[in-house]
Chain A
Amino acid sequence: DQQVKQNSPSLSVQEGRISILNCDYTNSMFDYFLWYKKYPAEGPTFLISISSIKDKNEDGRFTVFLNKSAKHLSLHIVPSQPGDSAVYFCAAIQGAQKLVFGQGTRLTINP
């Protein structure tokens, strides 16, 4: 049972435009959501997070939106840059710090 789902395995965006990555979850007990970025041959690194009591969190070019009623969150990157090309994982925390990850979305920024 996939509790965190990223239904788009890949996304291609032109440099300078907005990238929108989506994530859906099924467990209403999740109380914290995170996005991780992963380059090839490296471990995931934290990008941005949001608490379930908020609906938006912004950090520079990155904004995460949370819609609890729809059990949906999204990551917006604007403007997109070539260095943003990576695999992005959505994750959620339940209980004792056990991260549950989505399948990942491979983002490609085209020059």
Chain B
Amino acid sequence: NAGVTQTPKFRVLKTGQSMTLLCAQDMNHEYMYWYRQDPGMGLRLIHYSVGEGTTAKGEVPDGYNVSRLKKQNFLLGLESAAPSQTSVYFCASSLDRRSSGNTIYFGEGSWLTVV
């Protein structure tokens, strides 16, 4: 998973707290994504970005906000954490619009628990 770095790797939050997950990539990729992985649900797209300064909603955007102020960084924010947001979060990046999928690189994941 070289090239995509997520911080923090682990975090425990209390209900109602806020936090930000940071994703950084050093491959000059245009596209960046945030997914969450839950048991029996696969990976679901939360938000994505097709370039610096742009963001768009994915399948499950509610309760999350994102920002892409710099091309290399994609931030995922939880304004008021809820237990339903306990999950493993994966950031990913890709080079271009019609790449074949094998140029989508994932980070190692961030484990978030909301109590």
Contacts and interface: CB of A to CB of B under 8 A. Distances in A.
Given A42-B108, A98-B33, 17 more contacts: A4-B42, A6-B42, A34-B102, A41-B108, A42-B1, A42-B109, A43-B105, A44-B43, A49-B100, A89-B43, A96-B97, A97-B31, A97-B94, A97-B98, A99-B101, A99-B104, A103-B42
Q: Is the interface of A mostly helix, strand, loop or mixed?
A: strand
B48 interface: yes
Interface residues of B, number: 31
B4 interface: yes
Interface in A4-61: 4, 6, 9, 32, 34, 41-46, 49
A45 B40 contact: no
Contacts of A96: 50, 97
Interface string B31-60: 101010000111111001010000000110
Interface residues of A, number: 24
A6 B41 CA distance: 10
